[in-house]
Structure 1
Amino acid sequence: MGATGSGKTTFINLLSGSNLEVGSGLQSCTSTVEVASPFQLDGRWISLIDTPGFDDTTRSDTQILTQIASFLATAYESGKKLAGVIYMHRISDVRMGGISTRNFKMFRQLCGDSTLKNVVIVTTMWGEVSREIGEAREKELANDSKFFKPVLDKGAHMLRHNNVVTSAQAILFHLIGNHPRALTIQQELVDQKKDISETAAGEELNRELVTQINRHKQEVMMLQEEMKEAIRAKDEETKKELDFETSKLQAEIARIQEECRRLASEYAEQKEALEQRVAEVMAAARKDAEIVEENHRRQLQELEDRLHQTAMTSSSEKEEIQRKLSELQRRFEEMRSQLKPRRGRGVFGKIGRTLDSGLHL
């Protein structure tokens, strides 16, 4: 997780060999939750999940929250938890402005304090600043209570990523041995059956939206005062400009109000789509398993018939049939295990890949 352009997708591609699209300009490329190809590290299967930031250029914060929340809730319902969460921040940023602060606030509400021991804050873009400047900013971020100090005090860690495989792997080594934990958003939506607007992240988003609405209303009031003055001065050109600006602000207020109302319904739509895709892939997996088992039974019966028919023949032929029976059973067990959704295949086995593709509906 992290702001747009903080290096999330590049980090994932570097480690996994995936080809997730990376943004090169101001436009965000990660507009939905994406699951990278699984890879092995230190004998473990690793799957990394890419999420859009809450400053996405193509989707609203409401859409981002519903996408992330529905993915996490569906995964949790399938019995899957995260071993770690990585939050990325550009050390090249001169200051931690409003956008970065909003992203980090939403991140904290999604994770909750109980999972902070499984959180690593990763600073990126070290090649864009001098070592002295980077270290000074890193110290400020770690020690200022307005930035990362509160989460570091509660068990999170802060590491650097130098855009090379070794530093990326070092970050994962810090997480892969963790006991997987449910995030707060998962517990709220699944265990506590809360409406998304009642979750900590939903309430934070609503507070942010209400703040935006109030700010725009203040701006409208100021424009209305200027309008009165323009009318008194019979300044038609200024009046037209103020009319235009007022209409823009009122339209923005209406959009934000609609965004508040849409939070619950958008989550329900996303969740339903994901659940349908999971049901489909599980049905397909069961069908595949039935076909495999039927073929196995048929081949097994054929070999047993041959063994019975060769009761009076040479021991060497019997040994060959027994060998084939053993080989058939071994292959059957391998195929059956491959059809099972297994931890470490995809993000969450077949379910993980389905959750990924489901978010692209």
Structure 2
Amino acid sequence: MADKDIGGPPQSQALSETKPRKGKVMIALLGVTGAGKSTFINTALGRDLLKTSHGSKPCTQSPQSVELKVGERPIVLIDTPGFDDDKRSDVRILEDIATWMAKRGYMKLDGLIFLHPITHTRAGGSELNRTQLLEKILGEAAYSRVVIATTMWDYIASESSVQERVNSRFAPGGVWHELRSKGADHVKHYNNQQSAHEIVNRIVDITDRLGKPDVLLEGELRQRQGRVVQTSAGRTLEKQIQRKITVLQDEIYRHLEGRPDDSYKNDKVPAHRTEWKRWNKEHRELQVQLASEQQELKKLQNIVVRFFYSLASIFRTPR
């Protein structure tokens, strides 16, 4: 699969130079911590407005939007928390996205830019789960509004080995296969303003041809009176958490089978006391993990978001 070079030489005429367009375009940015979401917005804007992260430490704690113009077209870019932020659970991330959609529901998303640093060498279980969650947030009808933009190309010495790794993500069974096979685009981002504007304009062009998409999560939230767990994304996350709970319960059961004799707790033999302390510490850790997942499941099942509307949205003329 050949990559599409965005912002790299030589370039054809920029898309922003085509005929003037009307209407505000809403684009969300998602990606792992350190993928360059805030940097992408600053680059597109032409100045450092948002704080950027360093390494694996996230700087965006909740969705925030920035308005700019690409050519004459008003654009709103929405920066979101890192999709692999260990300090923010999947439930919290989904709640933030659902809440944002509910509050800004009258301003429908036009598309999504999924940024991924090619310096990340492998897709773990967490990334696979969150990509599945992303697919359920969008719905298959909106996959064609996704641009997967790989970043950090200037940090590698050899492009060929990295390209092979990127291609494997699109192969059957790969983490991006479902998105790509049903319409998602893939480009390289060269971390300059021209590159950022051309990526944005890919989504603008689709909106101008087809209108705004129906994002699955937003429509389901309206139908389910804001109950997140009753949406496709909510059900997917619920199943993921339930699987984690089952695994932890099995681990605790097996761990109990290896429980040392109670006499080891105060045994005069140091090795016995050490064995008891190790087992007890491991058991407490498993119980804490189980309680945490059970709490997350309960929280997910109780999340309800409320939609807000403006008078302009009620009386607007459909595009």
The aligned residue for residue 238 of structure 2 is 206
Number of residue-to-residue matches in the alignment: 273
Classify 1:204/1:231 alpha carbon distance in 2 versus 1 (closer, same or farther; 3 Å): farther
Separation in 1, partners of 2:167, 2:174: 13
Contact 2:224 2:231 in 1 (8 A): no
Separation in 1, partners of 2:236, 2:283: 27
Classify 1:138/1:237 alpha carbon distance in 2 versus 1 (closer, same or farther; 3 Å): closer
Separation in 1, partners of 2:257, 2:275: 12
Report the secondary structure of 1:55's partner residue. Answer: coil
Q: Which one of 99, 104, 111 corresponds to residue 84 of structure 1?
A: 111
Contact 2:260 2:275 in 1 (8 A): no
Structure 1: which amino acid aligns with 2:247? R
Structure 2: which amino acid aligns with 1:149? H
Q: Which runs of 4+ in 1 moved over 6 A?
A: none
Q: CA deviation at 1:219?
A: 2.3
The aligned residue for residue 317 of structure 2 is none
Q: Which one of 248, 271, 286 corresponds to residue 249 of structure 1?
A: 286
Separation in 1, partners of 2:152, 2:179: 22
Separation in 1, partners of 2:181, 2:91: 30
- Deviation track 1:62-85 (CA, whole Å, cap 9, x = no partner) reads 111111111113322xx2211211
- Deviation track 1:124-145 (CA, whole Å, cap 9, x = no partner) reads 1112222112221222222333
- Deviation track 1:115-174 (CA, whole Å, cap 9, x = no partner) reads 111111111111222211222122222233322222212111111112122221121111
- Deviation track 1:155-199 (CA, whole Å, cap 9, x = no partner) reads 111111121222211211111122211210001001453621111
Structure 2: which amino acid aligns with 1:86? I
Could you tell me which runs of 5 or more consecutive residues in structure 1 were left unpaired when the two chains were aligned: 283-339, 342-361
The aligned residue for residue 100 of structure 1 is 127
Q: Which moved more, 1:224-233 or 1:243-252?
A: 224-233
Q: Which has the higher strand share?
A: 2
Could you tell me which runs of 5 or more consecutive residues in structure 2 were left unpaired when the two chains were aligned: 1-29, 314-319
Report the secondary structure of 2:114's partner residue. Answer: strand
Q: Which one of 227, 240, 252 corresponds to residue 259 of structure 2?
A: 227
- Deviation track 1:83-105 (CA, whole Å, cap 9, x = no partner) reads 21111122122112223212211
Q: CA deviation at 1:243?
A: 1.1
The aligned residue for residue 171 of structure 1 is 199
Structure 1: which amino acid aligns with 2:114? Y
Classify 1:6/1:230 alpha carbon distance in 2 versus 1 (closer, same or farther; 3 Å): farther
Q: Which one of 239, 247, 250 corresponds to residue 276 of structure 2?
A: 239
The reply to whether residue 112 of structure 1 matches residue 139 of structure 2 is yes
The aligned residue for residue 261 of structure 1 is 298
The aligned residue for residue 67 of structure 1 is 96
Report the secondary structure of 1:169's partner residue. Answer: helix
Contact 1:121 1:157 in 2 (8 A): yes
Q: Which one of 131, 136, 156 corresponds to residue 159 of structure 2?
A: 131
Q: CA deviation at 1:229?
A: 6.0
Separation in 2, partners of 1:138, 1:2: 15
Report the secondary structure of 2:59's partner residue. Answer: coil
Q: CA deviation at 1:44?
A: 0.3
Contact 2:264 2:273 in 1 (8 A): no
The aligned residue for residue 189 of structure 1 is 221
Classify 1:106/1:144 alpha carbon distance in 2 versus 1 (closer, same or farther; 3 Å): same
Classify 1:228/1:74 alpha carbon distance in 2 versus 1 (closer, same or farther; 3 Å): same
The reply to whether residue 216 of structure 1 matches residue 248 of structure 2 is yes
The aligned residue for residue 81 of structure 2 is 52
The reply to whether residue 31 of structure 1 matches residue 57 of structure 2 is no
Separation in 1, partners of 2:176, 2:54: 27
- Deviation track 1:231-250 (CA, whole Å, cap 9, x = no partner) reads 67962221122112211211
Separation in 2, partners of 1:229, 1:102: 39
With the length of structure 1 as denominator, give the TM-score of the two structures: 0.70
The reply to whether residue 144 of structure 1 matches residue 172 of structure 2 is yes
Structure 1: which amino acid aligns with 2:155? E
Classify 1:91/1:230 alpha carbon distance in 2 versus 1 (closer, same or farther; 3 Å): farther
The reply to whether residue 155 of structure 1 matches residue 183 of structure 2 is yes
Classify 1:60/1:118 alpha carbon distance in 2 versus 1 (closer, same or farther; 3 Å): same
Structure 1: which amino acid aligns with 2:151? T
The aligned residue for residue 5 of structure 1 is 34
Q: CA deviation at 1:18?
A: 5.0
With the length of structure 2 as denominator, give the TM-score of the two structures: 0.78
Contact 2:228 2:300 in 1 (8 A): yes
Separation in 2, partners of 1:191, 1:223: 44
Separation in 2, partners of 1:62, 1:31: 14
Classify 1:89/1:229 alpha carbon distance in 2 versus 1 (closer, same or farther; 3 Å): farther
The percentage of counterpart residues that share the same residue type is 28
Structure 2: which amino acid aligns with 1:256? E
Classify 1:75/1:120 alpha carbon distance in 2 versus 1 (closer, same or farther; 3 Å): same
